[in-house]
């Protein structure tokens, strides 16, 4: 059994690798070799990567691809996507091209409000707490002036602070529910700093509030933290076209396709098992752009899935309808994004990705991300209700299978041509590869 280690963080990167390889892997030299292969030869760049997180031993790369031809509000974008899953970038590109000649994507910002909360325990008279809060509310704002001055100059800041009684959910539990406008910054550090100052004012002022008893003066702040659930920081993306434009076939085929697409969305509205996979496909597009632009995909995922459950049941993020001969497909999605601060100022590829997107504001990035998620969902649904999802996905997965088999470039070329007219399955590829090797 490997013994625990003391002072791991103080080891050099090479010492960390040696310790990991020697104590936790069977093929130690191979482990060392692979980890070092992924070091960047540019020492300055590697040092930057090393300092993003703690205990760095190497870099973990994801492919960065481009989905071109995204027409969003009559502006053309090439969307950078960082993702490892086959067929995602191809599907987004195909969907973008389809809607390019049908008016493209229309997007609207429905809100940009961020949320943070001070969670605290108060054992006393609720009415006295309300009176106390009303008395100190203005001071809560002014005590945070030093933190908010710069943000206010840019047009942002604290938009509201309210006291919420949560004692029905948990005994003696209250919160300051606070909302913010953070403009092009995601705003996590700004919000958390403000919340900690709010908590300090709350506790300090309670100690000298004359109407509180001694017990009531001792407000217990449990924590002060932003929320990644932002139901009022939402963007809508939509596409629409006449039924005839939806398919290159005849009007009956187009009508049938439109109806099946609506049915597919309706099923995802009412059936949780389907909704989860339905929304996962949307997140294929959203996460890929979030990663490419240096935003926090984990926060976005948590907030979006909570939003999908806002009506008490997990459901589809997208909607579809047929009205007066027009097919309409849309999504409302919460996205608290930033284009300044964090990795956006540090990671060279993030800077390039934002440059490719023509240096968008946070609200513009929200619209690009939402359109990509919608495109991804449209491509998936269209495949599901027509040819099935596997035909396209497996064709894109073909190179992965061939790489696993160790195929040469010439073998890849031969087998790629073979599977242009044959169904791709793992067993079929293995069989074709073996036959080629034996010829």
Q: Provide the 10 A C-beta neighbour count for residue 286.
A: 28
Runs of H (alpha helix) within 325-388: 348-356, 362-384
205 is catalytic: no
Q: What's the burial of 363, exposed, middle or buried (CB within 10 Å: 0-12/13-18/19+)?
A: middle
Which residue shows structure tokens 């926060």?
Answer: 299
Q: 184, 205, 296, 364: which one is catalytic?
A: 296
Contacts of 27 (CB under 8 A, 6+ apart): none
Residues 6+ apart with CB under 8 A from 131: 211
Catalytic residue status for 238:
no
Question: How far is residue 170's CA from residue 172's CA, in Å, rounded to a whole number?
Answer: 6
Q: Please list, in sequence order, all residues whose beta carbon lies within 8 angstroms of the beta carbon of residue 205, skipping any fewer than 6 positions away.
A: 132, 136, 139
CA pair distance 321, 304, nearest whole angstrom: 22
Given 166, 280, 328, 351, which residue is catalytic?
Answer: 280
Is 393 an active-site residue?
yes
Catalytic residue, chosen from 85, 216, 245, 253, is: 85
Residue 346 is encoded by which pair of tokens? 């540090």
Q: 309: which residues sit within 8 A by CB, 6+ positions away?
A: 315
Q: Minimal CA–CA distance to 282: which of 350, 226, 333?
A: 333
CB under 8 A, 24+ apart: contacts of 72-78 = 72/104, 72/105, 72/106, 72/107, 72/237, 72/367, 72/368, 72/371, 73/104, 73/105, 73/106, 73/107, 73/367, 74/104, 77/357, 77/358, 77/368, 78/356
d(CA 118, CA 194): 10
From 16, 278, 347, 393, the catalytic residue: 393
Question: What 3-state DSSP class applies to 173?
Answer: strand
The catalytic residues are: 85, 280, 296, 393
């Amino acid at each position: 059994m490997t013994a625990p280690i003391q002072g791991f963080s103080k080891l050099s990167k090479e010492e960390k690798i040696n310790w990991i390889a020697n104590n936790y892997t069977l093929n130690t030299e191979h482990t060392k070799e692979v980890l070092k292969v992924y070091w960047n030869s540019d020492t300055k760049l590697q040092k930057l990567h090393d300092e993003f997180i703690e205990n760095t031993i190497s870099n973990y790369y994801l492919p960065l691809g481009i989905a071109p031809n995204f027409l969003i509000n009559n502006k053309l974008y090439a969307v950078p996507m960082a993702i490892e899953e086959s067929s995602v970038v191809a599907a987004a590109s195909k969907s973008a091209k389809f809607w390019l000649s049908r008016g493209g994507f229309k997007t609207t910002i429905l809100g940009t409000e961020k949320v943070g909360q001070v969670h605290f325990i108060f054992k006393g008279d609720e009415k006295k707490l309300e009176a106390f809060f009303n008395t100190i509310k203005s001071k809560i704002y002014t005590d945070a002036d030093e933190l908010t001055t710069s943000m206010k100059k840019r047009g942002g800041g604290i938009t509201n602070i309210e006291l919420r009684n949560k004692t029905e959910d948990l005994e003696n539990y209250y919160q300051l529910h606070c909302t913010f406008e953070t403009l092009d910054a995601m705003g996590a550090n700004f919000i958390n700093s403000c919340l900690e100052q709010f908590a300090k004012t709350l506790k300090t002022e309670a100690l000298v509030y004359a109407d509180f008893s001694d017990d009531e003066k001792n407000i217990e702040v449990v924590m002060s933290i932003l929320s990644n659930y932002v139901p009022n920081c939402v963007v809508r993306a939509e596409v629409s076209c006449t039924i005839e434009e939806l398919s290159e076939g005849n009007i009956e085929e187009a009508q049938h396709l439109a109806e099946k697409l609506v049915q597919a969305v309706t099923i995802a509205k009412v059936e949780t098992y389907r909704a989860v996979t339905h929304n996962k496909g949307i997140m294929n597009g959203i996460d890929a752009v979030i990663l490419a632009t240096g935003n926090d995909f984990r926060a976005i995922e948590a907030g979006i899935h909570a939003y999908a459950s806002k009506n008490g049941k997990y459901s589809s993020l997208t909607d579809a309808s047929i009205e007066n001969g027009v097919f309409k497909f849309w999504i409302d999605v919460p996205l608290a994004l930033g284009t300044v601060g964090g990795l956006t100022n540090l990671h060279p590829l993030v800077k390039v990705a934002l440059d490719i997107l023509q240096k968008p504001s946070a609200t513009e990035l929200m619209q690009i991300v939402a359109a990509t998620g919608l495109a991804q969902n449209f491509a998936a649904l269209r495949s599901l209700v027509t040819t099935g999802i596997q035909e396209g996905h497996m064709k894109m997965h073909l190179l992965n299978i061939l790489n696993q088999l160790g195929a040469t470039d010439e073998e890849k070329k031969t087998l790629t041509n073979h599977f242009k007219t044959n169904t791709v399955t793992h067993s079929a590829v293995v069989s074709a590869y073996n036959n080629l090797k034996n010829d």
